[in-house]
Structure 1
Amino acid sequence: MTPHPSTTDREALIECCSVWKLYGDRAEALAARYGQNISTEILKETGTISAARDVTFDVRKGEIFVIMGLSGSGKSTILRCMTGLIEPTLGSLKVAGTDLKTASYEEMIEIRRHKMGMVFQDFALLPHLTVLDNIAFPLRVQGISKTLRHSKAREMMDLVGLSGRGNHWPHELSGGQQQRVGIARSLMTEPEIWFLDEPFSALDPIIRTEMQNEFLRLQNLLQKSIVFVTHDFDEAVRLADRIAIMEGGCVVQIGTPEELITRPATPYVTEFTKNIPRSKVVRVRTVMGPANKGLLIEPVSADALVGDIAQRVLSYRDPVPVTDEDGQIIGTIDAPKVAAVLMNKEAET
């Protein structure tokens, strides 16, 4: 696993501010009367369901932002709000600079056609179209000529590893191959923002891991801004730059995988993260000690995962130097610190 790059200084492409989504006969009336001050008691008294409650976050350019939680936590509701498939009851949502609340129908069509790509859990392939025509379908909707859209579709087939399968029918493909078709189709318009709603959850574990690898490979090539919804924390840790954990329609914590595991904000987050090996997410800089420039041992990177350098460090009696991205020594890491991480000892991290 490669280090997740810092995204704190990047432009926000999605701005989600105090978003609520209420369902029930009195939802709109409650929103008009109470605004952001709707209480749990009011919701219960009126039989109103809050699928999303006061949700605030941003998604930055080039990052993989994972939204996760159990079924009913609100994660898919928020994704549907971001894609304009449903309208928030309260709050504001801006996507690529456009306020979805005030956007016209024509503007929403333009955003969906040119700014967004979407992949869902069910592959949603058209059974009467070949693989090539399924992938080319978004450009067909735009009125692009058959020659041009097929040419672009073949490029996408090569990109996702489906070369030579253009004339196959969807039912002739494996689950993993069908999802590759869905991914290729979502990339046909070269979207700026890529939305994926539990895209791999219907796949068996081996194929799921394969598709995660493929997803990371594509992101390294394309550098999209990605919102990825999942209920699987292992998957979130593997893919995310940052994770938003949702419970009961609320975002309870946002952070890097390392931040969530080493500094959980609530017992709910602690429960979610307790079975993830710290060595997979804790980086050397988090546990390193003071610098010692007199050591002659080859250094390790401060951004390396402890699990990736553990064997090296454990083989030395002396501490190992730690360097920053410029090659400057900024600390040391020793066998006891590595052992503490490997044993999932929270106090040491």
Structure 2
Amino acid sequence: MTGEAVISVKDLWKVFGHKAELVPRSAELSALSRRELIDRTGCTAAVRDVSFDVAPGEVFVVMGLSGSGKSTLVRCLTRLIEPTAGSIIFEGEDILAADKKRLRDLRRRKFSMVFQHFGLLPFRQVLDNVAYGLEIRGAGKAERIRRAKEVIDLVGLDGYEHSYPEQLSGGMQQRVGLARALAGDPDVLFFDEPFSALDPLIRRDMQNEVIRLHREVGKTMVFITHDLSEALKLGDRILIMRDGAMVQCGTGDELVGAPADDYVRDFVQDVPRANVLTLRWIMRLPRPEDVLDGPELGPDVVVRDAVRLVLAAGKPVKVIENGELLGVVTDEEILAAVTGVEVPA
């Protein structure tokens, strides 16, 4: 992660129940499992002692199964749900110290949310739906229309400005929701499982749309999903949650190459390793018999993209970073990564 964090979360808890605030303060109670805590106190710890930073321009994915606490977490970040304990610093400002007026201003100007349920106004055309946030902010009509048209074109809805939501497919409605979130030019976009209700093909298109938009506008994004393939496709880093707690946080290749425990290992076991791991994970040290006059590749090249070159080389491919030889990759390492079976030397 580079640069000062846009979002810095430290020791965050969200506990539901009577006297919920006592749970994070008690070493005994906070150490209980979710089931034990419910049985002992009647409280549910939806988010328990979570800490992470989000860098400028990063796509940070929070994933987990149903009930893992991921959606509660993202709602805590915007104080749609009030955290029980911990701190949330947004661009150097303590979100938990913000009064209602300041919080309202932050939601209008600094961050936007895209939900699974589009929440479009049915009796407003696309143009007016997209401009709605700017209208609430107090922008003039000419400015609202200009900006709404800009983002409508950006998300690929040019020509649909005067359509009503019921006239659009689910994917197009979600594009309207995305355009509405972008219209206010927020610093951070929060996505709470926005594509989970869409058909698989439309979902893939929308994932590609997010990737394209991130490349074009460079917004910091926090993306919630229960789908590992979606997380790996979109995320610069991924935080995996279970029962409200953070299990592991890292890049996709770190999760696949070095899972923190059996839970993460089970999560990633069906992931095609060659599509995620980089040469850094499979390279080996040179041996005396190696002829090191072959091609060169960088350590962050994905295995899948190196297969053709390595197999055609007929000799070790050097893995070079900043002019330094880190290791070599041969057909043995490539085939082991692709097939998941070690090739005998």
Which range, TM-score by smaller chain?
A: over 0.9
1:59 and 2:51 matched: no
Q: For 1:101, what is the secondary structure of its paired residue?
A: helix
- Alignment-derived partner of residue 321 in structure 1: 318
What does 1:66-85 correspond to in 2, within 5 Å? 66-85=61-80
What does 1:1-349 correspond to in 2, within 5 Å? 8-28=1-21, 30-31=22-23, 34=26, 38-40=30-32, 41-290=36-285, 295-324=292-321, 326=322, 330-345=326-341
Q: For 1:12, what is the secondary structure of its paired residue?
A: coil
* Matched residue count: 339
Query: Is contact 1:81–1:88 with CA below 8 Å preserved after alignment?
Result: yes
Name structure 2 gaps, 5 residues minimum: none
Give the residue type in structure 2 aligned to 1:322.
V
Q: 1:322 & 1:253 partners in 2: Cα distance? A: 28
**CA RMSD of superposed structures (Å):** 2.1
Query: Is contact 1:262–1:346 with CA below 8 Å preserved after alignment?
Result: no
Name structure 1 gaps, 5 residues minimum: 1-7
Could you tell me how far 1:76 is from its partner in structure 2? 0.3
Query: Is contact 1:31–1:89 with CA below 8 Å preserved after alignment?
Result: no
Could you tell me how far 1:306 is from its partner in structure 2? 0.3
Query: Is contact 1:284–1:304 with CA below 8 Å preserved after alignment?
Result: yes
- Alignment-derived partner of residue 3 in structure 1: none
Give the residue type in structure 2 aligned to 1:175.
G
Could you tell me how far 1:147 is from its partner in structure 2? 1.3
Q: 1:55 & 1:295 partners in 2: Cα distance? A: 46
Query: Is contact 2:279–2:298 with CA below 8 Å preserved after alignment?
Result: yes
Q: 1:151 & 1:103 partners in 2: Cα distance? A: 31
Relative distance call for 1:300 and 1:56 in structure 2 (3 A) is: same
Query: Is contact 2:295–2:313 with CA below 8 Å preserved after alignment?
Result: no
Q: 1:70 & 1:244 partners in 2: Cα distance? A: 12
Query: Is contact 1:16–1:92 with CA below 8 Å preserved after alignment?
Result: yes
Give the residue type in structure 2 aligned to 1:207.
I
Could you tell me how far 1:328 is from its partner in structure 2? 5.9
Relative distance call for 1:340 and 1:210 in structure 2 (3 A) is: same
Q: For 1:27, what is the secondary structure of its paired residue?
A: coil
Could you tell me how far 1:286 is from its partner in structure 2? 2.1
Give the residue type in structure 2 aligned to 1:306.
V
Give the residue type in structure 1 aligned to 2:327.
G
Q: 1:32 & 1:256 partners in 2: Cα distance? A: 29
User: Sequence identity of aligned pairs in percent?
Assistant: 45
Give the residue type in structure 2 aligned to 1:9.
T
Q: For 1:303, what is the secondary structure of its paired residue?
A: coil
Query: Is contact 2:291–2:315 with CA below 8 Å preserved after alignment?
Result: no
Q: For 2:118, what is the secondary structure of its paired residue?
A: coil
Q: 1:57 & 1:109 partners in 2: Cα distance? A: 24
Query: Is contact 1:321–1:333 with CA below 8 Å preserved after alignment?
Result: yes
Which shows bigger deviation, 41-50 or 219-228? 41-50
Q: 2:97 & 2:141 partners in 1: Cα distance? A: 35
Could you tell me how far 1:224 is from its partner in structure 2? 1.3
Instruction: State the Cα deviation string for residues 99-139 of structure 1 (Å, max 9, x = none).
Output: 12211111111111111021011111111110111111110
